[in-house]
Structure 1
């Protein structure tokens, strides 16, 4: 039973003096990040496989219980048929060998154009992947949210392979009109899909896309608390990845959620510890 809570990146221009210490090199930001959070959503791999030197450095900069959750490259998830992607997916996993002990989950993020016609290919791909790793699948095609046969087939397939259906909760982001350019851009880029709460594997994943204003988020993330605790009580691991429109305030939102789950985070390295030892 483990709760993994983290962000979609470990570095941001707004974080020095907050999450990160001021004056440290960008190559050392992960050191500070990993003092607070125990996982990260690795989006860089979506655009290309990280080089061996970087992977080795990241392994050295993080504690033993830290987990990286990389996305399969877009060449696997977004280009062509999944049925043909086994060699490329296996090559990607092999390239991650320097971080093999710290791989929490590999995430296959499918585009909105990838519908029921890809289910056979998805089954073939999941069958071919090493069973010593955890996998998550994120879907965006409307058929997989219609509560019909396509969605039932998807869920059965994921349960069969102990693959986790990634849950995207972008409701806070769309809960009010855009008032800033960052919020407008986020509403344009982020998917607005229904929240179907289901655990198809042993490690449920929630991607929570928050609003920059905390008051817009609270009622949405508070509703998750009993569900997350229930999964933990069942002996499952749970991954919670917190985003905000431009991610400037994502660390603070994640800390608030962790505290509500009775698993408060350490003080941010970029902030002087308060007398009570708490962030707020």
Structure 2
């Protein structure tokens, strides 16, 4: 059994007693978590030498979930993107098996399922894909839900839920929570996995105790997935993400308390004096 946990980034000012050199930041993060969201690739395709550095800093069992560039998903809305996609895949090649999934995060106005089906069908079969939709119709209209699931299942792709239930269930209590609520989607929680490799993005609150209390349904779901033979990846977010790295390890520990045979996380390098629990 393998559970991957991680955060939205691999460096944060609150995670180190003193700043680390760039070549050590990912290496240090990878001693705390075994997966990471590749959000930076949304803004630009990285240089291949940069990706080679990411590979050098991580063990082969570490996992990246890499977001497609916005030129593909938002500017061109998946149409006429062969050249951009080829350049992106070439840049990521040094990751090898560390590349867990290509993350297709679609804009909130996107409903063009034929374009999504064409994109997924055109990708080489050895790439695993996971799609995050934000348009409310896919959560509120059973027919639209079924149509999206059919497209994803035909391509062997996963549906990434972004669970912000806890973030929105109580009024914001800090500037960071106000900002998060302004930027994050607010759709119903979804817990159905389509593949052996479900991916979840969970967003908590400033208060670690509220974040832990809110993820209890995901503990149950994750345990069930693991018992079914799936290998889930859970990403933990908080409004300012200062505590997300420690909380990701806490999530893994809470699951492992119920499944003692679960592979443990690595022992973290001692760079963080912060203790939440």
Instruction: Give TM-score scaled by structure 2 length.
Output: 0.91
Alignment counterpart, residue 176 of structure 2, candidates 168, 171, 182? 182
The equivalent of 2:33 in structure 1 is 37
State the Cα distance separating 1:111 from its structure 2 match: 0.7
SS in 2 for 1:224: helix
The equivalent of 2:146 in structure 1 is 152
2:70 is equivalent to residue 74 of structure 1: yes
Give the distance between the partners of 2:138 and 2:186, measured in 1 at CA. 13
The equivalent of 2:13 in structure 1 is 13
State the Cα distance separating 1:188 from its structure 2 match: 0.6
Over the aligned positions, Cα root-mean-square deviation in angstroms equals 1.9
State the Cα distance separating 1:260 from its structure 2 match: 0.3
Answer yes or no: is the 8 Å Cα contact 1:162–1:202 preserved in 2.
no
Alignment counterpart, residue 239 of structure 1, candidates 225, 228, 233? 233
The equivalent of 1:90 in structure 2 is 86
Answer yes or no: is the 8 Å Cα contact 1:69–1:103 preserved in 2.
yes
The equivalent of 2:259 in structure 1 is none
When structure 1 is superposed on structure 2, of 80-89 and 240-249 the one drifting more is 80-89
Alignment counterpart, residue 27 of structure 1, candidates 11, 14, 23? 23
State the Cα distance separating 1:160 from its structure 2 match: 1.3
SS in 2 for 1:172: helix
Alpha-carbon distance change, 207 to 42 in structure 1, aligned in 2, over 3 angstroms: same
Matches for 1:177-216 after TM superposition, within 5 Å: 177-216=171-210
When structure 1 is superposed on structure 2, of 229-238 and 7-16 the one drifting more is 229-238
Instruction: Give TM-score scaled by structure 1 length.
Output: 0.90
Answer yes or no: is the 8 Å Cα contact 1:169–1:207 preserved in 2.
yes
Instruction: Structure 1: give runs of 5+ residues left out of the alignment.
Output: 273-277
Answer yes or no: is the 8 Å Cα contact 1:71–1:107 preserved in 2.
yes
Answer yes or no: is the 8 Å Cα contact 2:106–2:131 preserved in 1.
yes
Alignment counterpart, residue 254 of structure 1, candidates 241, 248, 251? 248
State the Cα distance separating 1:176 from its structure 2 match: 1.9
Alpha-carbon distance change, 210 to 268 in structure 1, aligned in 2, over 3 angstroms: farther
Alignment counterpart, residue 120 of structure 2, candidates 123, 126, 132? 126
2:103 is equivalent to residue 107 of structure 1: yes
Give the distance between the partners of 1:228 and 1:194, measured in 2 at CA. 18
